[in-house]
Amino acid sequence: MNTHTLDLLLPIRKKLDTIEIQNSKLARLLCRVIPASCPFASDIKLFGNLIIHIPPLCKLNPLYEQLIGLRFRALNYLAHLNSNTSWDENGVRKSRLNR
């Protein structure tokens, strides 16, 4: 990519960095959509012997760090949400904040 293309991506990168996760449905969706590891890395084998290893190319994606940061914020939101949740004797979820 040339520098002009990267300059066009700057507003998108800034927008991704400013997204705040305030909804558990959105957080779960982001965790499902954004993979935890690069899905493009693979090994090509022939008769059980490694022929070629294709390294992960995600770091070449100019939005990689922003997407991983967004996924991290979603996971952090869900972890915080679960730490504020307890269960009653019937197995029904109730928030500790509402007690």
| Tally of structural domains, the chain | 1
Is 30 part of a structural domain of the chain?
yes
Whose CA is closest to 12, among 67, 73, 76? 67
Per-residue pLDDT reduced to its tens digit, 2-34: 566 667 888 999 999 999 999 999 999 999 998
Q: What is the pTM of this model?
A: 0.68
Is 8 part of a structural domain of the chain?
no
Q: 70 near 12, Cβ under 8 Å? A: no
Per-residue pLDDT reduced to its tens digit, 69-93: 999 999 999 998 888 665 454 445 5
Structural domain boundaries, residue 29: 22-83
Question: What local confidence, expressed as pLDDT, does residue 94 receive?
Answer: 62
Residues in CB range of 28: below 8 A, 6 or more apart? 74, 78
Work out whether the CA dihedral 20, 23, 27, 29 comes out positive or negative: negative
pLDDT averaged over the chain? 80
